């Protein structure tokens, strides 16, 4: 069995990568800064602060992973775009790939973001769209991409970089678009949204995790956009949630302004993912949103049971 390590294994995307790597037949360990999640089975857990170089090195020394998927980062909703923690993650990420390589690691896969690209581009191509981030978060992710690429090439380890676009699904932060619409409608409340004219590629997080695990299991190198290849407007997404919950009437389109820093079109070119990595998503937008709605329904039910 090949040993893999996933950083940020409790995270929204990280937990899906852990599950998908286990399904791929890897011997998986995951790091968390808090404590193991009993819901995620099939992985060994390491509780470690990745800001601590010595402690991080010890985890790599103990587990000796051949493959490392680095999904940990600060993603606190509302603050992560501009947070100073982004700079700490640059240092922590550089330390991580150096320690991984020093301990004999073979392949490093980083989790990047559409925020690395110049959002004026509309459709983002790995090979040609400039890395001209609009926010600190994207700048720091692009920095780790650049310097880790360089480091890996110099040291002869295999390196790939998964750029995630818009993902949704179980365990998503409640303040984000899909959960806030789903939860509001399930409660029978009016939900205020913008006109929703923004064109996006929205992917179920389990598919994103599986795409990254497939990338990690193979030998494709360099940046790879992670997306479905389907372009939808956010109004389509919100409308479909309305249909699936039977509460279309509760959606107030245009009640919120469009954000000035929200680009009209932000979608990936997915040729590399489809034809080089060979991955296609399992969920359509309809089945994916239905799954997310079912998960939030179950969560509301569980919380009601325990009096929350």
Binding site for its own copies (CB under 8 A): 82, 84, 87, 90-91, 94-95, 98, 136, 139-140, 143, 146-147, 150-151, 154
Residue 150 or 282: the one with the smaller Cβ distance to its own copies is 150
Q: Collect all residues with Cβ–Cβ distance below 8 Å to 307 and sequence separation of at least 6.
A: none
Please state the closest distance from residue 91 (CB atom) to its own copies, in A. 4
Cβ-based neighbours of 175, under 8 Å, separated by 6 or more:
77, 78
DSSP character string of 5-40: EEETTTSTTHHHHHHHHHHTT-EEEEEESS---TTS
Q: How far is the CB of 87 from its own copies (least distance, A)?
A: 5
Residue 156: Cβ-neighbour burial (10 angstroms; 0-12, 13-18, 19+) = exposed
CB of 116 to its own copies, least distance (A): 12
Whose Cβ is closer to its own copies: residue 112's or residue 184's? 112
SS3 249: helix
**Torsional sign, CA 251, 252, 257, 263:** positive
Decide whether 27 or 139 has the Cβ nearer to its own copies: 139
| Closest to its own copies by CB, 104 or 254 | 104
As measured in angstroms, the least distance from the Cβ of 21 to its own copies is: 27
Q: Are 209 and 10 in contact (CB under 8 A)?
A: no
| Residue placing its CB nearer to its own copies in the complex, 7 or 16 | 7
The residue among 134 and 253 lying less far from its own copies, judged by its C-beta, is 134
Cβ of residue 117: shortest distance to its own copies, in angstroms?
A: 15
The residues with which 112 forms a beta bridge, in sequence order, are 163
Backbone angles phi, psi at 119, to 5 degrees: -70, -5
Q: Least CB distance from residue 154 to its own copies, whole Å? A: 6
3-state secondary structure of 268: strand
Of 74, 11, 81, the C-alpha closest to 262 is 81
Cβ closest to its own copies, residue 150 vs residue 187: 150
Nearby residues of 306 by Cβ (< 8 Å), 6 or more positions away:
none
Beta bridge partners of 158: 107
Least distance from C-beta 207 to its own copies, angstroms?
A: 32
Euclidean distance between CA atoms 34 and 114, whole angstroms: 27
C-alpha neighbours within 13 Å on the C-beta side of residue 215: 33
Q: Which is nearer to its own copies, 37 or 74 (CB)?
A: 74
State CA 144 to chain mean position distance. Answer: 16
Q: How far is the CB of 51 from its own copies (least distance, A)?
A: 11
């Amino acid at each position: 069995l090949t040993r893999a390590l996933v950083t940020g294994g409790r995270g929204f995307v990280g937990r899906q990568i852990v599950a998908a790597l286990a399904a791929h037949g890897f011997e998986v360990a995951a790091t968390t800064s808090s404590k193991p999640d009993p819901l995620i089975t099939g992985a060994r857990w390491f509780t470690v602060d990745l800001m601590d170089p010595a402690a991080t090195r010890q985890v790599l020394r103990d587990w000796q992973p051949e493959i490392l998927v680095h999904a940990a980062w600060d993603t606190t909703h509302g603050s992560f775009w501009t947070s100073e923690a982004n700079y700490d993650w640059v240092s922590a990420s550089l330390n991580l790939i150096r320690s991984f390589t020093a301990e004999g690691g073979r392949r490093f896969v980083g989790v990047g973001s559409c925020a690395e690209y110049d959002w004026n581009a509309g459709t983002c191509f790995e090979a040609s769209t400039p890395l001209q981030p609009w926010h600190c978060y994207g700048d720091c992710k692009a920095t780790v991409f650049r310097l880790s690429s360089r480091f890996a090439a110099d040291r002869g380890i295999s390196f790939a970089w998964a750029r995630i676009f818009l993902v949704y699904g179980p365990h998503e932060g409640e303040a984000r678009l899909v959960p806030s619409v789903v939860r509001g409608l399930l409660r029978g409340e009016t939900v205020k949204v913008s006109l929703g004219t923004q064109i996006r590629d929205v992917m179920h997080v389990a598919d994103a995790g599986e795409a990254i695990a497939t990338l990690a299991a193979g030998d494709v190198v360099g940046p790879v956009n992670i997306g479905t290849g389907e372009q939808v407007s956010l109004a389509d997404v919100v409308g479909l949630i309305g249909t699936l919950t039977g509460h279309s009437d509760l959606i107030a389109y245009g009640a919120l302004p469009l954000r000035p820093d929200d680009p009209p079109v932000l979608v990936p070119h997915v040729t590399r993912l489809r034809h080089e990595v060979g991955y296609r998503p399992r969920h359509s937008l309809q089945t994916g949103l239905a799954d997310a709605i079912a998960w939030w329904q179950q969560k509301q039910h569980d919380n009601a049971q325990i009096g929350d």
